[in-house]
Amino acid sequence: MYRMVDIGSKKPISRSAIARGILKLKKESIRRIVDGRVSKGDPFKVAEIAGISAAKKTWELIPLCHQIPLESVKVRFGVEKDHITCECEVKANYKTGVEMDALVGVSIALLTVWDMIKEFEKDEKGQYPEIRIESIEVVEKRKGGE
């Protein structure tokens, strides 16, 4: 049996969550991103919009999630020598938490970067031996005055 949790009796309260994930890449792919040499455009700008849009659609993607009126979604990227990091921070004043929205946002943002740089990650057989998404997790969740 399955059911959506009844939050009807809960009071709206300030809520936030930050999710983080890592995209392991070839060093050459990272150089191309940093130098602006990606044929599809700036992966971070496109992925930022994709992550924001995805967070807003979480309720359409995960069947038992509530449709939460999000007040803020921020997507940020960091560059390291062999990977990029992505964080998605979501805020709302509502009856239930926003961690799923943050997780969906970071996941889609990382997948968007993958899509934009995949041409540089393929080997001679068209496979992706090095690129991978790792460690998608909620790193912070708050409610009320916490």
* Residues with catalytic function: 115
| Token representation of residue 73 | 């979604």
Identity at 32, one-letter amino acid code: R
CA distance 98 to 129: 34
CA 41 to chain centre: 19
CA distance 81 to 56: 31
